[in-house]
Amino acid sequence: MLEIKGLSFAYENDRPVLKGVDMALEDGQVGILLGRNGAGKSTLLKIITGVLKPSGGSVLFNGQDLLAMTRRERAALVAYVPQQIDFGDLTVYQTVLTGRVSYYSIKPSKSDLDVVGRVIAEMDLSDVSCRNVQELSGGERQKVAIARALAQEPKVLVFDEPTGNLDIANELLIIKEAKKIACSKNITVFSSIHDLNQAMYFGDKFFFMKDGSIKYTGNSEVFSPEIIRDVYGVEASLVGDRGEKYINYYKELRND
């Protein structure tokens, strides 16, 4: 279980970004972090992955304090897939191999190479493994980023806006892959997403952030026009279609 207790953070002392964030996510669950730009979503994700250090609070995985771990120990538990990815001039194989950096010093062992080969096959990247990542499409590049994260053999996979720069075909592809990983490997997935409809399809548990803390938590039932109005300041309505809910937040535009 991933637990966050009383987490606080400030880039500058007088301007706190996180003010006592509390949340919990079961193993294998897909947690979605929602909220407006500047609500503190990326900051929270960066603290979980060790990129930023909080000013207070704790991040626990099955009772172990992630913040007290060494970088290597944390890399074996938590992996990160950022929104903007620049891979440099490497092949797919070389890029995925960087996910094993914390497991070896100068030369990867046979087991490291086995893991990389397996992950590349699982992510259906075998055909492009020798190609330069820069030559791939946006969706394939995102899959390479996920493959690198999986090569860490993590228990928690953190995504920051995984589909932010993708077309809808690649968007669906990445969401499908991420859900498959969570189910088949029992990996806890924690992701920030802007599109509420995408979030409802992708997630099991939802966390709405406002003013530096988690204001609403729950399963898909938590989505309501009132909460959306409170968090985003937007009028929305829930519409049903073939038994599934969709959120329509373009109503205001039509009424203009």
Partner 1 sequence: MLLAVLGMAFVCLFVGSSHMSFSECIQALLNRSTAANNRIIWKIRMPRVIAAIIAGAGLSVSGLIMQTNLNNSMASPSTLGVSNAAVFGANLSIIAFAGGFLDTGSHLANFDVGANPYSTSLMAFVFSVVSILLILFLCGTRSFSPNVVVLAGIAIGSVWTAATTILQFYATDVGLSAAVVWNFGDLGRATYRTDLIMLVTVGVGLVFFLFMSRRFDALLSGDAVAVSVGVNVKALRFVSMLLASMITAVCVSFLGIIGFVGIICPHIVKKFFGQEHFWSISASALCGSLLLLVADTLSRSMGSGSALPVGAITSMLGAPFFIAIIFSKGRRR
> Counting contacts by CB under 8 A, is residue 132 touching partner 1?
yes
Given 51, 68, 238, 239, the residue binding partner 1 (CB under 8 A): 51
Nearer to partner 1, 159 or 208 (CB): 159
Nearer to partner 1, 85 or 234 (CB): 85
Q: How far is the CB of 56 from partner 1 (least distance, A)?
A: 20
User: b/e map of 204-241 (b: 16 or more CB within 10 Å)?
Assistant: bbbbbbbebbbebeeeeeebebebbeebbebebeeeee
Q: Is 98 in the site for partner 1 (CB under 8 A)?
A: yes
Q: Verify binding: residue 224, partner 1, rule CB under 8 A.
A: no
Sheet holding 2-12, edge to edge: 15-25, 2-12, 56-61, 64-65
Q: How many residues bind partner 1 (CB under 8 A)?
A: 38
Contact segment (CB under 8 A) with partner 1 among 48-56, 57-65, 164-172, 241-249 equals 48-56
18 near partner 1, rule: CB under 8 A? no
SS3 of the chain: the string is CEEEEEEEEEEECCEEEEEEEEEEECCCCEEEEECCCCCCHHHHHHHHCCCCCCCEEEEEECCEEHHHCCHHHHHCCEEEECCCCCCCCCEHHHHHHHHHHHHCCCCCCHHHHHHHHHHHHHCCCHHHCCCEHHHCCHHHHHHHHHHHHHHCCCCEEEEECCCCCCCHHHHHHHHHHHHHHHHHHCCEEEEECCCHHHHHHHCCEEEEEECCEEEEEECHHHCCHHHHHHHHCCCCEEEEECCEEEEECCHHHHHC
Q: How far is the CB of 193 from partner 1 (least distance, A)?
A: 18
Q: Which of residues 135-194 bind partner 1 (CB under 8 A)?
A: 148-149, 152, 158
CB of 162 to partner 1, least distance (A): 14
Which member of 90, 172, 222, 234 binds partner 1 (CB under 8 A)? 90
Query: Of 1, 71, 176, 218, which one interacts with partner 1 (CB under 8 A)?
Result: 71
Partnered with residue 16 across adjacent β-strands are 10
Q: Pick one of 40, 54, 82, 139: the residue that binds partner 1 (CB under 8 A).
A: 82
Tell me if 96 contacts partner 1 by CB under 8 A.
no
Among 6, 38, 88, 218, binds partner 1 (CB under 8 A): 88
- Which range, of 2-10, 105-113, 115-123, 172-180, touches partner 1 by CB under 8 A? 105-113
Which of 89, 221, 226, 256 touches partner 1 by CB under 8 A? 89
Taking Cα atoms as reference points, which of 198, 202, 180, 201 lies closest to residue 190? 202
Residues that bind partner 1 (CB under 8 A): 46, 49-51, 71-72, 74-76, 78-80, 82, 84-91, 94-95, 97-99, 101-102, 104-106, 108, 130, 132, 148-149, 152, 158
